[in-house]
């Protein structure tokens, strides 16, 4: 079973009971806080012997002195036949008031410890604690996979509100939840009799009692050596029993003191089991550290939040789960499609491929990659493989590579199509490893490995054209993705640029729509977004969204994009035809690999044409005045200097440190943006030596030219674009 499946089913099946224990634990965390405020703690440097002398003088009939975990002193005594328990002032020994073990209802403790079911419930509570430990372990594995490893663990979390709540809260309190689970198991082991804290019998000290005149408490040498922070309790010898002794219990053990000589008659060190149990009690309840109890209370209450957000996430995934239709039986299929997908989107591409192949007469069987095999009827095999995290296989296909490596190669062509995100250094690494394994084993391929960036339907269609030519069949791949729920966006402002001989362009600003909490939890409506994320626009008459890089973030209160007219472009024509007050439908797709981290290092922003849009968004939100340096490439400053007035204002405000332009269609315009980079080679090397972060946005040809220029500029520093990508300092958003 995968970590994902383990986490999901444990959370759904045992999660309700875990919520009960978490909430009841949060209520019980009030107790240590209340104790800490009810009475003054004994000074750490107060001798225990002095404390005893004060208490016995002011509390007649005192039988036991107990130091609570909060540091307060409680004295147990009898007034006639009535037992009493009182707080005392350690400085004077006077009684401050009555003490009660807990002001919380007893049933809350019983609920937390035994689910109100007695011994059977204690076993159940222990089982839930074990489940929580497994949930924490699986959560850590999933968190590392989602964020891309330890180095990206603190990166910004994207997704629906429920996903962000689940991941961010988990990232904060996961360690504490794991600790409370382990300490609960430790305490349960003692409560259930699985571990004995101390099996030793008390020593025989009666024969050692001297029987002389009893010493005052202040003169007992053994008590004078006990530190106040170590004291747990002290039993006072009975006046009616001359052979009774003092018995002191500390963090280190327990001892018996002769009331006549003041010497220690016997001592037993605390066992390892007892010390472990005592530590577990402190860590689990917050006793002796009320600030820690506050933390535990918040974490206990968060279990409800985890469970609710987890249920919402499960429901969302279930609703969007792929279901392959038209699957032919394996033995009869001449084409096999195998899929490795983490989030489920790759299955949708497999369905499109299967439908297209079926329409031209093939019998197609689609299955998960871990089921890889061929049959006598097989003529073609296609593998659609997504890459997750730092180059790992999707969870369900974690052992697929090893399985394929053990198979004997056949003559059937096996073609691999990879899916990933170029922003991550390990772009399509699993698909590459899979393709290399297949070729090493001797499997032929109909087409070389192709990698699809960010589930691009256009790239998939181009691959389909190559596939149709290779198969000699009229194959058409028109992938219609399952888009998230969309939200209407109303145009509130636009800034048009005269394209002259070139295409028309406009900066479009849309109002930020209000959303209910329920819609945000379910992932409906417009998700949280930041500059550099993508907005998917679904134009009228098409089910295929087009993506535009965002020039604004949610904090700006509006959504802004820069749109250029594309020849025959359905979406660009639709957007550029909008008038103020008109609406379009959209959804957000996160682009975490392109996001800027919080940094004080220099930031180098390189963009051409409409590619400056997300870079403008970064500068707009540069409230911390991080040194940002913009290289902008265009054709003519009079026609396509997009965001020009804003950029000039940001220079004055200090949000942008320097501006470097290159316009290719005007005299002395500076050529292309890569030419500007070569001219500023010395300055670029200085920024790079300071750890500069680089973001590039624009056309693919421009991005390639920028990479070549930077490789040449940075070579004296033994740096390259590849090394910057490996250290997560370089990312591209290309189109």
Instruction: Report how far apart, in Å, the C-alpha atoms of 59 and of each of 86, 88, 89, 246, 272 are.
Output: 10, 9, 11, 17, 36
**Per-residue confidence at 101, pLDDT binned at 50, 70, 90?**
low
Burial class from Cβ neighbours inside 10 Å (0-12, 13-18, 19+) for residue 323 reads exposed
In a domain, 282, yes or no: no
The arithmetic mean of pLDDT across residues 342-348, rounded, is 82
So what's the pLDDT on residue 69? 83
State pLDDT tens for residues 428-441.
999 999 999 999 99
Predicted local distance difference test score (pLDDT) of residue 291: 83
Percentage of the chain surpassing pLDDT 90?
41
Q: Quote the pLDDT of residue 61.
A: 83
| Global confidence as pTM | 0.58
DSSP 719: -
pLDDT given for residue 614 in this prediction: 96
Structure tokens at 80: 């006639």
Separation between Cα atoms, residue 631 and residue 646, nearest integer Å: 15
Is the separation of the CB atoms in 188 and 122 below 8 Å?
A: yes
Specify the range with the lowest mean pLDDT, choosing from 51-60, 147-156, 296-305.
147-156
In DSSP terms, which residues pair with 418 in a beta bridge? 385, 451
| Same domain (yes/no): 21, 54 | no
Q: Does any domain span residue 276?
A: no
Residue 478: inside a domain: no
Mean pLDDT of 152-165: 72
Domain annotation covers residue 690: yes
pLDDT at 325: 86
Residue 479 lies in a domain: no
Q: Are residues 355 and 438 in the same domain?
A: yes
- State residue 319's pLDDT score: 65
Q: What's the CA dihedral at 329, 335, 341, 346 to 10 degrees?
A: -110
Please indicate, yes or no, whether residues 50 and 126 belong to a single structural domain of this protein. Answer: no
Mean pLDDT is lowest, of 52-61, 328-337, 668-677, for: 52-61
Is residue 536 one of the residues assigned to a domain? yes
Residues whose CB is less than 8 angstroms from the CB of residue 422 and which lie 6 or more positions away in sequence, other chains included: 453, 454, 593, 732, 734
Tell me how crowded residue 666 is: count the other CB atoms within 10 A of its CB: 13
Euclidean distance between CA atoms 185 and 179, whole angstroms: 10
Nearest of 160, 135, 170 to residue 305 by alpha carbon: 170
Q: E-assigned strands of 73-223? A: 73-79, 82-88, 95-98
Identify the helix (H) or strand (E) that includes residue 337: strand 335-340
Nearest-angstrom CA–CA distance, 553 and 560: 8
Residues 441 and 511 in one domain: no
**pLDDT surpasses 60 at 320:** no
**Structural domain total, the chain:** 5
- 283 within a domain of the structure (yes/no): no
- Determine the average pLDDT of the residues in 316-321: 65
How far is the C-alpha of 309 from the C-alpha of 164, rounded, in Å?
9
Identify the domain boundary among 471, 498, 533.
471
Assess whether 25 and 65 both reside in one domain. Answer: no
The helix or strand, by DSSP H or E, that contains position 588, with its residue range, turns out to be: strand 583-589
How confident is the model over 71-89, as a mean pLDDT?
86
CATH code, 428:
3.40.50.360
Euclidean distance between CA atoms 6 and 14, whole angstroms = 12
Closest C-alpha among 635, 319, 329, 694 to residue 505: 635
Q: CA-CA distance, 249 to 514, in Å (whole number)?
A: 62
501 pLDDT higher than 70: no
What phi and psi, each to the nearest 5 degrees, are found at residue 558?
-150, 165
Q: Indicate whether 440 and 360 sit together in one domain.
A: yes
Domain residue limits at 131: 3-30+106-197+289-316
pLDDT at residue 641 in the model: 94
483/539 Cα distance (integer angstroms): 13
Which of residues 593, 616, 643 is at a domain's end?
593
Task: Flag the least confident range among 1-15, 300-314, 361-375.
Answer: 1-15
Residue given tokens 């032919």 in the structure block: 328
Paired tokens of 101: 């073990």
> How much is the pLDDT for 564?
93
CB 253 within 8 A of CB 270: yes
- In this prediction, residues 678-700 reach a mean pLDDT of 94
Identify whether residues 448 and 373 lie together within a single domain. yes
Which three-class secondary structure string do you get for 281-334?
HHHHHCCCCHHHHHHHHHHHHHHHHHHHHHHHHHHHHHHHCCCCCCCCCHHHCC
Confidence band, pLDDT 50/70/90 cuts, at residue 143:
confident
Is the pLDDT at 589 greater than 60, yes or no? yes
Do 185 and 84 belong together in one domain? Answer: no
Give the best-scoring range by mean pLDDT among 10-14, 475-479, 495-499: 475-479
The verdict on 300 and 344 lying in the same domain is no
529 and 516, same structural domain?
A: yes
Rounded distance, CA 694 to CA 676, Å?
15
Write out pLDDT tens, residues 380-398.
999 999 987 667 788 778 7
pLDDT of residue 543: 72
Write the DSSP symbol of residue 666. Answer: S
Same domain, 612 and 580: no
Q: Which residues lie closer than 8 Å to 36 by C-beta, 6 or more apart?
A: 70, 71, 72, 290
Non-local CB neighbours of 337 within 8 Å, separated by 6+ positions: 350, 353, 354, 364, 365, 366, 367, 381, 382, 383, 384
Same domain, 342 and 311: no
Mean local confidence (pLDDT), 9-33: 80
Q: Which residue would you say has higher pLDDT here, 657 or 323?
A: 657
Q: Which residue, among 186, 184, 191, 190, has the nearest Cα to 118 in the 3D structure? A: 191
Q: Which one has a higher pLDDT value, 518 or 383?
A: 383
What does the pLDDT average to over 154-167?
73
pLDDT in tens, 251-297: 899 999 988 888 888 999 999 999 998 888 888 888 777 788 888 88
Here the tokens at position 42 are 């004994």
Q: What is the domain-level CATH number for residue 571?
A: 2.40.30.10
Helix (H, G, I), strand (E, B) or coil at 547: strand
- The reply to whether 277 falls in a domain is no
If one counts every other C-beta atom within 10 angstroms of the C-beta of residue 338, the result is 25
Chain segment 210-244, per-residue pLDDT in tens: 777 888 888 888 888 888 888 999 999 988 888 88
Confidence label for 349 from pLDDT (cuts 50, 70 and 90): very high
User: How does 689-713 read in b/e, with b if 16+ C-beta sit within 10 Å?
Assistant: eeebbbbbbbeeebbebbbebbeeb
**CATH value at residue 642:** 3.40.50.80
Kindly report, residue by residue over 463-492, the tens digit of the pLDDT. Answer: 999 999 999 999 999 887 767 778 899 999
CA 524 to chain centroid, in Å, comes to 21
C-alpha span between 252 and 249 (Å, rounded): 8
pLDDT at 388: 75
- Which residue, of 530, 563, 593, is where some domain finishes? 593
The neighbouring-strand residues paired with 255 are 248, 267
> Could you tell me if 145 and 392 are in contact, meaning their C-beta atoms sit under 8 angstroms apart?
yes
């Amino acid at each position: 079973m995968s970590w994902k499946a383990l986490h999901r089913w444990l959370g759904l099946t045992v999660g309700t009971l875990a919520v009960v224990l978490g909430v009841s634990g949060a209520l019980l965390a009030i107790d240590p806080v209340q104790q800490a405020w009810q009475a003054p703690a004994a000074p750490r440097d107060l001798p225990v012997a002095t404390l005893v002398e004060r208490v016995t003088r002011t509390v007649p009939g005192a039988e036991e002195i107990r130091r609570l975990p909060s540091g307060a002193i409680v004295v147990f005594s009898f007034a006639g036949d009535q037992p009493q328990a009182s707080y005392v002032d350690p400085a004077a020994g006077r009684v401050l008031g009555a003490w009660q073990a807990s002001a919380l209802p007893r049933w809350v403790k019983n609920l937390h410890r035994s689910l109100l079911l007695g011994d059977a419930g204690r076993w159940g509570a222990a089982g839930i604690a074990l489940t929580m430990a497994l949930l924490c372990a699986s959560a850590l594995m999933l968190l590392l996979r989602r964020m891309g490893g330890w180095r990206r663990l603190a990166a910004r979390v994207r997704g629906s509100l429920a996903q962000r709540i689940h991941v961010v809260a988990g990232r904060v309190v996961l360690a504490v939840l794991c600790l409370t689970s382990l300490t609960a198991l430790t305490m349960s082991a003692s409560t259930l009799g699985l571990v004995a804290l101390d099996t030793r019998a008390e020593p025989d000290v009666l024969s050692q009692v001297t029987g002389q005149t009893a010493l005052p408490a202040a003169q007992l040498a053994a008590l004078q050596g006990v530190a106040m922070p170590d004291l747990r309790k002290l039993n006072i010898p009975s006046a009616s029993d001359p052979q009774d002794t003092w018995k002191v219990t500390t963090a280190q053990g327990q001892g018996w003191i002769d009331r006549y000589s003041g010497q220690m008659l016997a001592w037993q060190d605390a066992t390892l089991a007892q010390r472990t149990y005592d530590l577990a009690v402190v860590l689990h309840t917050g006793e002796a550290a009320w600030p820690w109890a506050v933390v535990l209370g918040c974490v206990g209450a968060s279990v409800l939040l985890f469970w609710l957000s987890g249920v919402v996430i499960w429901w969302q995934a279930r609703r969007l789960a792929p279901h392959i239709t038209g699957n032919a039986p394996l033995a009869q299929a001449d084409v096999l499609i195998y899929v490795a997908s983490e989030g489920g989107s790759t299955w949708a591409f497999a369905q499109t491929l299967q439908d297209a192949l079926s329409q031209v007469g093939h019998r197609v069987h689609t299955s998960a990659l871990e089921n890889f095999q061929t049959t006598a009827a097989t003529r073609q095999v296609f593998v659609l493989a997504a890459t997750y995290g730092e180059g790992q296989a999707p969870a369900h296909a974690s052992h697929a590579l090893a399985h394929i490596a053990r198979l004997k190669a056949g003559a059937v062509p096996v073609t691999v199509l990879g899916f990933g995100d170029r922003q991550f250094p390990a772009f399509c690494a699993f698909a590459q490893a899979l393709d290399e394994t297949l070729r090493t084993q001797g499997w032929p391929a109909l087409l070389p490995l192709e990698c699809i960036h960010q589930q691009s339907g256009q790239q998939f269609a181009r691959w389909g054209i190559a596939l149709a030519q290779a198969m000699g069949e009229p194959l058409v791949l028109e992938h219609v993705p399952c888009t998230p729920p969309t939200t209407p966006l109303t145009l509130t402002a636009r800034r048009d640029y005269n394209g002259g001989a070139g295409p028309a362009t406009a900066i479009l600003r849309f109002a930020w729509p209000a959303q209910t909490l329920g819609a945000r939890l379910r992932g409906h409506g417009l998700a949280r977004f930041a500059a550099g994320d993508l907005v998917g626009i679904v134009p009228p008459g098409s089910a295929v969204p087009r993506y535009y890089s965002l020039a604004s973030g949610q904090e700006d209160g509006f959504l802004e994009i820069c749109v250029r007219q594309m020849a025959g472009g359905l979406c660009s024509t639709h957007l550029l035809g909008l008038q103020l007050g008109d609406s379009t439908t959209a959804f957000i797709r996160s682009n975490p690999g392109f996001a800027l981290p919080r940094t004080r290092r220099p930031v180098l922003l390189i963009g051409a044409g409409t590619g400056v849009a997300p870079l403008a968004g970064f500068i707009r939100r540069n409230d911390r005045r991080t040194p940002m340096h913009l290289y902008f490439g265009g054709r003519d400053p009079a026609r396509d200097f997009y965001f020009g007035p804003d950029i000039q204002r940001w220079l004055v405000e200090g949000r942008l440190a320097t501006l470097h332009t290159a316009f290719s269609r005007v005299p002395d315009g500076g050529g292309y943006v890569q030419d500007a980079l070569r001219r500023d080679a010395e300055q670029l090397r200085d920024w790079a030596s300071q750890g500069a972060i680089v973001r590039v946005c624009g056309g693919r040809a421009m991005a390639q030219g920028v990479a070549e220029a930077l490789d040449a500029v940075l070579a004296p520093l033994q740096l390259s674009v590849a090394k910057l990508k490996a250290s997560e300092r370089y990312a591209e958003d290309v189109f």
